[in-house]
A and B are shown apart, each in its own frame.
Chain A
Amino acid sequence: MGTVLDVVAAALLFGGLSLATIGLFGVLRMRDTFHQLHPAGLISGPALLLVLLAAIGTRSWAIVTSAALVFVFLLITSSLSNHAIANAARQRRLRDEDERERPAAVRP
């Protein structure tokens, strides 16, 4: 039982870190903010959640309960902060397009 728990925890931990590596590579490769949001969401969402799930391997209730708190908190906040950034990028793009089109509209 102990060995199985260790193997599961190691798989979760390394799986999470692999996802974070892939996500970071994606953030480095993408040029646009909207395209960068997708790999960034992979890091702050699933990658971190897998790393926190690996707490079961420590067999310590103090660590598992703390990790569960962070798990629930991240489930709520990671999507909210990504939404805030996407919304800001969208509003900025709309404003830029508006400013670009305005001189043409004012011209008689």
Chain B
Amino acid sequence: MPDLVASIAFGWATVLLLAGGVVLLRSRDALQRVLALDVLVAIVIALLTALSYLRDASYYIDAALALALLSFTATLVAARYVVRGRPF
């Protein structure tokens, strides 16, 4: 992949990350905050993938996989916690 394409994608994902921060700041209740954090993690995964394409190194995508796993469990537990007052 040409370096220019990966660089543009990396910069674009960084701008999206900033916009995701705005979404997190504008959310009004706990559930919307959980949703905004889920979106932020999705953008970080895209950012790590673009970084992996840019540097031609695969371990950034492995980090993205670990992040996706953590975010999945965190979202499930936080969504339960918002409703029940306890995670399980």
Which partner residue on chain B sits nearest A59 by CB separation? B1
Q: Which of B45-83 contact A (CB under 8 A)?
A: 45-46, 49-50, 52-53, 56-59, 61-62, 64-65, 68-69, 71-72, 75-76, 79-80, 82-83
Contacts of B79 in A (CB 8 A): 81, 84-85, 87-88
Report the number of A-B residue pairs with Cβ-Cβ less than 8 Å.
150
Least Cβ–Cβ distance between B83 and chain A, in angstroms: 5
Least Cβ–Cβ distance between A88 and chain B, in angstroms: 4
Contacts of A6 in B (CB 8 A): 1-2, 5
Which partner residue on chain B sits nearest A14 by CB separation? B9
Which partner residue on chain A sits nearest B46 by CB separation? A51
**What separation, in Å, do the CA atoms of A23 and B42 have in the docked complex?**
11
Q: Is the interface of B mostly helix, strand, loop or mixed?
A: helix
**What separation, in Å, do the CA atoms of A54 and B58 have in the docked complex?**
13
Asked if residues B16 and A17 are in contact (CB atoms below 8 Å), the reply is yes
**What separation, in Å, do the CA atoms of A51 and B53 have in the docked complex?**
10
B→A interface (CB under 8 Å): 1-2, 5-6, 8-9, 12-13, 16, 19-20, 22-23, 26, 29, 31-32, 34-36, 38-39, 42-43, 45-46, 49-50, 52-53, 56-59, 61-62, 64-65, 68-69, 71-72, 75-76, 79-80, 82-83
* A-B pairs with lowest CB-CB distance, top 4: A62-B58, A66-B61, A88-B79, A57-B1
